[in-house]
């Protein structure tokens, strides 16, 4: 793929995400008609998830017919040029009227995370990154915190019912014992974006899916974060652990989270 073809993808998808953001915000403003259902324990679904993913799939198919698409709601197949979509990440927040949710689109070229676009429309925030070209928040360059001391670090630890809670509690306990402030905000994607702009110092989760992190990995790594090789093995289809941190804290956090 030529550099021009990549740039075209980044610009075109920024436009799509802006439209998708309006669609999602319309739903967010009408909480009574979100049609909330549960896919499982603590696994939320609203009509907005399907509508936003459907919109993005339809437009991507027209714009880039030879690319494939994988989405949280509709699945899909990987290829050398694949878009990985989370229509609403932080659905449990979205369904409760909490603004910490986003739309996430990542693009992998030959399995390498290459473009990441994340819109958090209720917060009026747009993160954009392309491999080798840096990361921005609302057009301004962003960078990780540079923190070096766990005793003043803020680490987000993601949680889901996919992992036995004992394993989560072990990591949580080790994190507190090392002096970290540990938090959880309900959007893995924004968790990575917040490492990218220094609002937190690290994000870890023992299992997360590709759509939760495909865009955020590009954004955080372009902002200077160190990240494990999330797409190793079956990462695209089955997910993997993620550890994303300002670089100096990585060795200690690997020990704490048990993620290499």
- Catalytic residue numbers read 72, 86, 88-89, 91, 212
Residue with tokens 């865009």: 215
Q: Which of 101, 202, 76 is nearest to 144 (CA)?
A: 202
Rounded CA separation 115/133 (Å): 10
**Which residue among 53, 89, 201, 222 contacts ligand IPD (CB under 6 A)?**
89
Helix or strand run (H / E) with residue 109: strand 102-109
- Asked whether position 53 contacts Ca ion by CB under 5 A, the answer is no
Q: Which does 158 bind (CB under 5 to 8 A by kind): Ca ion, ligand IPD, none?
A: ligand IPD
- Asked whether position 160 contacts ligand IPD by CB under 6 A, the answer is yes
Rounded CA separation 220/215 (Å): 9
* Nearest distance from C-beta of residue 175 to Ca ion, angstroms: 22
- The helix/strand/coil state of 183 is strand
Only one of the segments 10-18, 54-62, 136-144, 185-193 lies at the binding site for ligand IPD (rule: CB under 6 A); that segment is 185-193
Name which of residues 68 to 97 contact Ca ion (CB under 5 A). 86, 89
**Which residue among 27, 64, 159, 168 contacts ligand IPD (CB under 6 A)?**
159
Query: Residue 133 or 184: which CB sits closer to Ca ion?
Result: 184
Rounded CA separation 77/240 (Å): 17
* Nearest distance from C-beta of residue 53 to ligand IPD, angstroms: 11
Say how many CA atoms lie within 13 Å of 201 toward its Cβ: 20
* Nearest distance from C-beta of residue 62 to ligand IPD, angstroms: 25
Is there a contact between 118 and 102 (Cβ–Cβ < 8 Å)?
A: yes
Q: Dihedral angle at the C-alpha atoms of 200, 203, 208, 214, nearest 10 degrees?
A: 70
The strand order across the sheet containing 102-109 reads 68-71, 81-89, 102-109, 112-120, 125-130, 135-137, 140-141
* Nearest distance from C-beta of residue 184 to ligand IPD, angstroms: 7
Query: Residue 91 or 246: which CB sits closer to Ca ion?
Result: 91
* Nearest distance from C-beta of residue 147 to Ca ion, angstroms: 26
Number of residues that bind ligand IPD (CB under 6 A): 15
Q: Which of 53, 129, 62 is nearest to 85 (CA)?
A: 53
Looking only at the bridges linking them, the beta strands covering 125-130 and 135-137 are antiparallel
Query: Residue 73 or 201: which CB sits closer to Ca ion?
Result: 73
- Which x/- pattern, by CB under 6 A, does the window 31-70 give for ligand IPD? ----------------------------------------
Name which of residues 196 to 225 contact Ca ion (CB under 5 A). 212
Binding site for ligand IPD (CB under 6 A): 72, 86, 89-92, 158-160, 186-188, 205, 208, 212
Footprint of Ca ion on this chain (CB under 5 A)? Answer: 86, 89, 212
């Amino acid at each position: 793929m030529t550099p021009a073809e990549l740039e075209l993808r980044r610009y075109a998808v920024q436009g799509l995400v802006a439209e998708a953001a309006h669609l999602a915000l319309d739903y967010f403003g009408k909480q009574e008609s979100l049609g909330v259902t549960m896919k499982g324990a603590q696994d939320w679904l609203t009509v907005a998830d399907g509508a936003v993913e459907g919109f993005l799939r339809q437009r991507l198919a027209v714009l880039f017919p030879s690319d494939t698409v994988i989405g949280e709601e509709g699945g899909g197949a990987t290829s050398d040029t694949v878009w990985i979509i989370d229509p609403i990440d932080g659905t449990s927040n979205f369904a409760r009227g909490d603004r910490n949710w986003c739309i996430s689109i990542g693009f992998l070229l030959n399995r390498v995370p290459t473009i990441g676009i994340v819109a958090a429309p209720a917060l009026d925030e747009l993160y954009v990154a392309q491999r080798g070209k840096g990361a921005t928040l609302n057009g301004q360059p962003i960078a990780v915190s540079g923190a070096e001391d766990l005793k003043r670090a803020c680490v987000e630890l993601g949680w889901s019912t996919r992992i036995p809670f004992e394993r989560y509690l072990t990591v949580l306990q080790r994190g507190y014992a090392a002096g970290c402030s540990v938090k959880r905000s309900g959007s893995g994607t924004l968790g990575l974006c917040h490492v990218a702009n220094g609002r937190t110092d690290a994000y870890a989760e023992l299992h997360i899916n590709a759509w939760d992190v495909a865009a955020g990995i590009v954004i955080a790594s372009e902002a200077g974060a160190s990240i494990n090789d999330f797409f190793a093995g079956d990462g695209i289809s089955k997910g993997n652990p993620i550890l994303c941190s300002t670089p100096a804290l990585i060795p200690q956090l690997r020990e704490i989270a048990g993620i290499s």
